[in-house]
């Protein structure tokens, strides 16, 4: 599969041409980052607010464009995600200062912010515009330049969106080339950017293979792993509320968020009431023979059926020959075990929810832990319960760094239905073999130089208040190659189109590219 996909999308010419293009873009980004580091906070936030406003205003347009281009998801839900990663994201961090020095007179320490410089950012096919908004705004809040590599399946919409944000940034006073995007992404091109010494940090959101490539690139990387969130409905929960939250979460954008609930676990005490509540909330509970049909449709000899990604529940049911009401929001598939022998206990980026009844609380806790050990370690988990001791036991048992309580997990783990930091890059920490266990934010794109004075009380400290960047502009224009007086290799005059003809790849080829992004999920 991997060799086949590499052949499909290796369209970037010779290695020298690929590295020449990477060098040119990264040098221009380096120039922009160097200039941007001189900006004061008012000038920085003026740029951030202008870009957030542009992102918000175009949210509906790009939601429609992405659904049309990729073929999956719900435009109305993507619009919500695009908006949440614009102004609300900026407002969440507005009171945090990533520009001015921090002065601690008591400890006699001054901390000076040092932006990363040039960020190379990968965006996925499942949430391309929201992730693009998120990463661009994080970069701008911390005075970094960013080069974006969009997923090929969402290339056209992502390129248009990045250009719009770049225009807004420059109009507000940002250095030219502070936001750039690779218009014809391919694996060799991505590798050239990842391994370049001109890249300061890689911000990777995508499949496990790409994230591991980022970590092995020799450059600093912030990567995230796959999800497979268990949700436990305890007998102490408000069962009706739990069912409503779970169905709303699992059906949101046809379940393409990696934070969505994957396996629902409960106990015999709650089973009957929960089944009724799920039906009332819009779920269809499959019979045993229908579960078999679902299993065969979603998982086959080559792995997960990528045609199901982001499709709605009624479409999946029709493909399986299952008759469901037209109002059905999700399909619930009862299973008798959790583990490698039950593929439905793995992540499913579609509105199909596995449903398992444990013998009691202890087994339910163990089964929830097993879900994450099967896939999704370090990512997310959810629980519906009013028993605080049970919530604490669950959180201590599951190997996840965010546990959502009595809320939809899709939105809650990402910080949009809880007070967690809003994010579209979920850190999976030590459990998931990632460098960060919290929701990724701007604080991860800036480090601090610490000026430490003699701790002796008799030694004076001095007055550092008000000292820092005071740039108001204007900037000189960016040189064409990023380095004044130095010539850099130029890209080919006309890049070859993506495989599939002059009009770009076919839908089948795009779905094969998505398979690479989600390769671990495709295995048996």
Adjacent-strand bridge partners of 284: 331
Q: How far apart are CA 75 and CA 254, in angstroms?
A: 10
Give how far Cα 482 sits from Cα of 20, 65, 153, 189, 479, Å.
13, 32, 30, 19, 5
Q: Which 3 state secondary structure label does DSSP give 448?
A: strand
Is the CA virtual torsion 437, 441, 446, 449 positive or negative? negative
What are phi and psi for residue 387, nearest 5 degrees? Answer: -90, 105
For the chain, how many residues are written?
A: 524
Q: How far apart are CA 478 and CA 124, in angstroms?
A: 30
Closest of 46, 35, 41, 140 to residue 85, by C-alpha? 140
Q: What are the φ/ψ torsions at residue 110 (nearest 5 degrees)?
A: -115, 130
User: Measured between alpha carbons, how far is 333 from 355 in angstroms, rounded to an integer?
Assistant: 6
Task: Give the Cα separation of 166 and 160 in Å (integer).
Answer: 10
Is 286 assigned a catalytic role? no
Assigned token pair, 412? 């809650």
With b meaning 16 or more CB within 10 Å and e meaning fewer, what string describes 471-487? eeeebeebbebbeeeee
Which residues sit opposite 202 in a β-bridge?
120, 221
Torsions phi, psi for 345 (to 5 deg): -90, 5
The residue from 258, 286, 320, 409 that is catalytic is: 258
Q: Which residues contact 67 (CB under 8 A, 6 or more apart)?
A: 73, 74, 75, 78
Task: For residue 437, give every residue at least 6 positions away whose Cβ sits within 8 Å of its Cβ, in sequence order, or none.
Answer: 378, 401, 427, 428, 429, 430, 431
E-only strand ranges, 1-149: 102-104, 109-115, 118-122, 145-149
Q: What is the DSSP string of 270-328?
A: HHHHHHHHHHHTTEEEPPHHHHHHHHHHHEETTEE-GGGTT--HHHHHHHHT----TT-
Contacts for 187 with CB less than 8 Å, ≥ 6 apart:
5, 6, 9, 10
Residues annotated catalytic, as ranges: 258
């Amino acid at each position: 599969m991997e060799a086949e996909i590499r052949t499909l999308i290796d369209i970037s010419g010779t290695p020298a041409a690929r590295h020449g293009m990477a060098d040119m873009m990264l040098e221009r980004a380096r120039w922009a980052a160097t200039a941007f580091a001189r900006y004061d906070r008012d000038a920085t936030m003026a740029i951030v607010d202008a870009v957030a406003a542009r992102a918000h205003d175009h949210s509906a347009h790009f939601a429609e464009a992405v659904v049309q281009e990729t073929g999956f998801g719900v435009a109305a839900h993507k619009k919500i995600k695009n908006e949440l990663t614009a102004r609300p994201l900026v407002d969440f961090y507005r009171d945090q200062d990533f520009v001015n020095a921090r002065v601690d007179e008591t400890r006699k320490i001054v901390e000076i912010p040092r932006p990363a410089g040039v960020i190379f950012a990968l965006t996925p096919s499942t949430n391309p515009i929201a992730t693009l908004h998120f990463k661009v705004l994080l970069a701008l809040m911390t005075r970094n330049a960013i080069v974006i590599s969009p997923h090929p399946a969402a290339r056209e919409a992502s390129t248009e969106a990045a250009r719009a944000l770049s225009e807004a940034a420059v109009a507000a006073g940002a250095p030219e080339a502070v936001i750039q995007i690779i218009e014809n992404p391919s694996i060799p091109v991505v590798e050239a950017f990842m391994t370049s010494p001109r890249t300061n940090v890689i911000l990777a959101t995508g499949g496990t293979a790409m994230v591991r490539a980022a970590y092995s690139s020799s450059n600093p990387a912030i990567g995230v792993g796959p999800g497979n969130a268990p949700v436990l409905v305890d007998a102490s929960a408000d069962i009706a509320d739990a069912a409503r939250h779970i169905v709303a979460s699992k059906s949101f954008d046809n379940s393409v968020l990696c934070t969505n609930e994957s396996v629902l676990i409960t106990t015999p005490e709650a089973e009957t009431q929960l089944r009724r509540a799920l039906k009332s909330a819009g779920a269809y509970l499959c019979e045993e023979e229908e579960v078999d049909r679902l299993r065969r449709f979603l998982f086959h000899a080559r792995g997960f059926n990528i045609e199901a990604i982001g499709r709605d529940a009624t479409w999946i049911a029709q493909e399986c020959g299952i008759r469901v009401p037209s109002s059905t929001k999700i399909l619930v598939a009862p299973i008798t075990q959790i583990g490698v022998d039950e593929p439905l206990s793995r992540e499913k980026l579609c509105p199909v929810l596995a449903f398992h009844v444990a013998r009691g609380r202890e087994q339910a806790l163990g089964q929830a832990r097993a879900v994450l050990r099967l896939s999704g370690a370090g990512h997310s988990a959810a629980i519906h319960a009013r028993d605080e001791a049970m919530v604490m036991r669950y959180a201590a048992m599951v190997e996840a760094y965010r546990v959502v309580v009595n809320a939809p997990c899709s939105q809650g783990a990402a910080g949009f239905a809880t007070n967690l930091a809003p994010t579209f890059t979920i850190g999976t920490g030590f459990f998931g073999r990632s460098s960060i266990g919290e929701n990724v934010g701007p604080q991860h794109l800036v480090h601090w130089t610490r000026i430490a004075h003699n701790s002796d009380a008799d030694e004076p400290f001095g007055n550092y208040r008000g000292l820092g960047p005071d740039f108001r502009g204007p900037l000189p224009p960016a040189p064409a190659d990023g380095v004044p007086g130095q010539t850099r290799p130029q890209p080919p005059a006309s890049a070859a189109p993506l495989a599939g003809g002059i009009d770009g790849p076919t839908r089948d080829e795009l779905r094969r590219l998505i398979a690479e992004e989600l390769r671990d999920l495709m295995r048996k």
